[in-house]
Every structure is written in C-alpha cells, then in structure tokens.
Chain A
Amino acid sequence: MKAHCLFEQSGTFKNEFKKLGIEAFDYDILNDYGQTDFQIDLFAEIENAYRGAKHIR
C-alpha cells in the first residue's frame, strides 16, 4: 500500500505515514518548504482525469 497526500498540509501526514513504514508521497501546487514530492496543478489533474475517464462524462 502507498499513501498519496494531496493539497496543502499533506506533508505532515506524508511524513507520519513514512514513520509507520508506509511509502507515501505528497502532491501540491506549491512547494514552499522544498519538501513536496510532486509540485503539480491538482485541479488540472482532476479535470484531466475526469475528461479521460471511460465511464463518466
């Protein structure tokens, strides 16, 4: 199992998942503290995924 933490303040949870031995990543549009694994526009990703989904439109 991996943990994917999205949006602001996800870094704290990411670090705690790791302390518990669970691989974890965080995603956010900002990287103020230089610790965000994936600096990405999550809103655009959601829109993209929604448009590309097979069963929903």
Chain B
Amino acid sequence: MHIGGQSIFDEMSSDDLILAFFPCTRFECQCQMLFAGTAYQFTNASDETKLKYDIKLHGELHDLYCLLCKMCLVVIDKGLKMVIENPVNQPHYLTMYWSIKPRIVDKDRTQNGDYMKKPTQFFFINCEPKNNLVFEAIQHVDMRNVERLTNQEKDRKTLRSEIHPQYANRFIRKYLIDYEQDFSKLYEEGSEEDERAIHEKDIESLKHRLAAIQEMGGDSD
C-alpha cells in the first residue's frame, strides 16, 4: 500500500484509460428495502435493531459515495481518463444524487453477447465515448436466470457479476478505443470459395427438383 500521497494513479499517464467497476451494492435499489427495514431478514427485527442497522448502512453509503467522488477528483486533477461502470435500476442513488451523468446506458447487455440483461450505465470522466461500428454476428450465449444460478465452483454473487468476454470485447471496440473494422476481408472471403459453394448448392437443388418432377411424371422443362 502506498503512503504519503503516493498511489497507483501516479503510475498512470493521460494516454491511458482507467476502467473502474466501482462497488455498487449501496447505490442499488435493493438497498432501499434494507433502509426501510422491509427486507426479509428484518421480518421479526425490533425497531432498535433496524435503527442501528440504518446508521451502519447509511455510513457505508456515505463512505462509498465520497470515495467515488474522490476517485473522480483525483482523475480530473491528474488529467487522466476514466470510465466508471455501475448498474442502473430504479431507484439508483447515483442517478438521483450524483452530479455526473452517464454517457452510455445499456438496457440489455444480451444484445451484445452478455449472459444477462443487467441494465448498466457508464460514466466518462475526462474523455468521451467513441462511436465505432462493430458489424459482426453475435455468438449465441445462454442467458443466465438469476433465480436458477448454481455452480459448484462459483457462488451466486460471482455468477451474477460475471461479464461475458464477447460483451467486453465488443464494448471496448465500440466505445473505448480507436477501432475501424476491416470490411475488405468480409468481401474477399465471399468472392471465390463461397461463390463456388453457392454454385454447387444451386446445382444440387436443381437436381433434386428435377428428380422430383420426373417421379411425378411431369415435364422437366
């Protein structure tokens, strides 16, 4: 651990990009039930228990919120570039009580190859999102049902948090780096081999149709 004002941020340059998956548990809508004392674990809890928990919980929210703001201030002060990721749900503490607004809101991550929809927002500090074209088929990914997540090696929290590499790759290319898709390769791959394959397929199809007509005793013209 660094001391005396030194930190990992000293090793980063203004050409670099920081991508922060800032802890979100105290900003999400589920926290509202904890504050209100209506979560399942408070079913038989006394007012005293709930109030003490409220103090603890609000302290955690305060600490995380201040850390988030400080992280942004450090990045701004040092001229660094940063993208912060956080879920988006209603209500979300940052949506309601933060001065920084998201530049990208992805309402359905499965559309870009992730495991779950998990609406997500991205905040850009000292930089702007690119808007590159990523034109390619998305490989099928089995959607994860939150209620049925079970795995011998990973707990449910981890399974819920995991991001599919396909989603990460597409996001980086589309929004974070200078990227230009090479469309010439797509055209070349379709010129010789694919045309031959299409031609052979057409011939096979024609043969089948001819055989069917002849079986029926019809005119093959």
Give the docked Cα–Cα distance between A15 and B19 (Å): 13
Residue of A nearest to B76 (CB): A56
Q: Contacts A2-B13, A53-B5, A56-B74 given; 14 further ones with Cβ under 8 A?
A: A4-B8, A6-B19, A6-B21, A7-B23, A9-B163, A16-B168, A40-B1, A46-B67, A48-B7, A49-B9, A49-B10, A50-B73, A54-B77, A56-B77
**Which residues of chain A are within 8 angstroms of B105 by Cβ–Cβ distance?**
none
Question: Quick check: is B17 within 8 A (CB to CB) of the other chain?
Answer: yes
Question: Quick check: is B71 within 8 A (CB to CB) of the other chain?
Answer: yes
Give the docked Cα–Cα distance between A5 and B6 (Å): 19
**Which residues of chain B are within 8 angstroms of A48 by Cβ–Cβ distance?**
1-7
Give the docked Cα–Cα distance between A18 and B1 (Å): 26
A46 touches B169 (CB 8 A): no
Task: Tally A residues with Cβ within 8 Å of B.
Answer: 37
Give the docked Cα–Cα distance between A35 and B16 (Å): 21
Interface residues in B41-100 by Cβ distance below 8 A to A read 67, 70-71, 73-74, 77-78
**Which residues of chain B are within 8 angstroms of A40 by Cβ–Cβ distance?**
1, 8
Residue of B nearest to A21 (CB): B177
Give the docked Cα–Cα distance between A17 and B21 (Å): 15
**Which residues of chain A are within 8 angstroms of B169 by Cβ–Cβ distance?**
16, 19-20
Task: Tally B residues with Cβ within 8 Å of A.
Answer: 40
**Which residues of chain B are within 8 angstroms of A9 by Cβ–Cβ distance?**
21, 161-163
Query: How close is A29's CB to chain B, nearest CB, in angstroms?
Result: 10
Give the docked Cα–Cα distance between A2 and B17 (Å): 6
Residue of B nearest to A50 (CB): B70
A6 touches B74 (CB 8 A): no
Interface residues in B5-30 by Cβ distance below 8 A to A read 5-10, 12-13, 15-23
Give the docked Cα–Cα distance between A51 and B10 (Å): 13
Interface residues in A35-57 by Cβ distance below 8 A to B read 38, 40-56
Give the docked Cα–Cα distance between A53 and B163 (Å): 33
User: What are 11 A-to-B residue pairs whose CB atoms are below 8 Å?
Assistant: A1-B177, A4-B17, A7-B20, A13-B19, A15-B165, A41-B1, A45-B9, A47-B67, A49-B10, A50-B71, A53-B73
Give the docked Cα–Cα distance between A7 and B64 (Å): 13
A8 touches B16 (CB 8 A): no
Query: How close is B149's CB to chain A, nearest CB, in angstroms?
Result: 15
Question: Quick check: is B117 within 8 A (CB to CB) of the other chain?
Answer: no
Contact of A7 among B6, B8, B22 (CB under 8 A): B22
